[in-house]
Amino acid sequence: MGSIWELDFYSRPVLDENQKKLWEVLICESPLDIRAKTDSLFRYAQYCPSTQVNSGWLRAALQEAITKAGEAPIKIRFFRRQMNNMITKACQDVGIPAQPSRRTLVLNQWLQQRIEEVYPNEPGYQGGANPSVRLESPLPQRLPDALEGQQWVFVSLSAADLMDMPEWEIGFSEAFPLELAQVSPETRIPGVLIFSPRALPLAGWMSGLDLAVLKFDTSVGSRLILETGVTESWILANIKNPQTLAEAKGFEAAKQKANGVHFIGVQSNPQAESFAGFWLLQDVNLP
């Protein structure tokens, strides 16, 4: 399997000599291994004059990044919906699929670091005009009947236990380095296991959605919501049982203690020793 890249192309809080905002492309490798070291990931940054903001300039920047990296990624993730057309066209022009996604954890962290440490030191810096990386919550959809699990349960594992994930038997999966979330080995990581006799088709469908965040939502009733891509979300369960409600609140509290890290797993039954699917997730928009 090849690499996946994360990309942002947007204006920055820096004015050029003509008092126009500078734009910038940021490209970084998306780590897929829970044990990966983030300081070894490929990164590429380049400013773009406001007069040259178009898909052609972005295509040239992508080609330069590919040359520097030594190989092209299998796909590129981006989170800014307003840049969808330009980013998608530039990626298509270099033959790489583009995917709107909330799984841009390294990119979000890098952008925040540049907002705090890089842009303020640039000539023409304009404080208070930082580009936001916060995303709006999408409207949840009902899960297709054929894909509903028959049973599910809240569970937790220590961060140290999760480090063994590469040795587990898993059909579909994705993770990120736990060092990225800065959690200690003894931190309890909350999660949900879904059990279904159609575990593999369910896991395959979920894998194609680009899983982002699992959360307990009380805006309309009490529901377990799975957010995917940039604009999609799904109702995994409606919660009414008082004990389960308490467990759901505990799940959210544990997420906060774990810097938003959590997981979702799919198995055929509670006795299964393998996973049809297992995904490590991070909620970067905790209240």
Alpha helices for the chain (secondary structure H): 55-69, 84-93, 105-117, 159-162, 178-181, 199-207, 242-257
pLDDT given for residue 33 in this prediction: 86
Q: Which band of pLDDT confidence, cut at 50, 70 and 90, is reported for residue 78?
A: very high
For residue 132, is it within any domain? Answer: no
pLDDT given for residue 207 in this prediction: 87
Query: What sign does the CA torsion over 56, 62, 63, 65 have?
Result: positive
Q: Is there a single domain that holds both residue 153 and residue 254?
A: yes
Is-above-0.85 flag for pTM? yes
Q: Which helix (H) or strand (E) holds 11?
A: strand 4-15
Q: Is there a single domain that holds both residue 156 and residue 102?
A: no
Q: Which band of pLDDT confidence, cut at 50, 70 and 90, is reported for residue 151?
A: confident
For residue 45, is it within any domain? Answer: yes
Q: Is there a single domain that holds both residue 149 and residue 278?
A: yes
Which is more confident, 133 or 142?
A: 142
Q: What is the mean pLDDT of residues 36-40?
A: 83
Query: What sign does the CA torsion over 145, 146, 147, 149 have?
Result: positive
For residue 136, is it within any domain? Answer: no
Q: Would the pLDDT of 104 be above 70?
A: yes
Reported as a single tens digit per residue, the pLDDT across 219-274 is 888 999 999 888 888 888 889 999 999 999 999 999 999 999 999 999 999 999 99
Q: Is there a single domain that holds both residue 95 and residue 183?
A: no
Reported as a single tens digit per residue, the pLDDT across 40-69 is 899 999 999 999 999 999 999 999 999 999
CATH code of 111's domain: 3.30.420.10
| Residue 17 CB contacts under 8 Å (≥ 6 apart), including other chains | 124
Q: Which of 89, 121, 153 is the last residue of a domain?
A: 121
Which tokens hold the place of 216?
């307990």
Q: How large a percentage of the chain has pLDDT more than 70?
A: 93
For residue 207, is it within any domain? Answer: yes
For residue 11, is it within any domain? Answer: yes
Contact present, 61 and 48 (Cβ < 8 Å): yes
DSSP classification of residue 125: B
| Structural domain boundaries enclosing 24 | 4-121
**For the chain, how many structural domains are there in total?**
2
Q: What is the mean pLDDT of residues 197-211?
A: 89
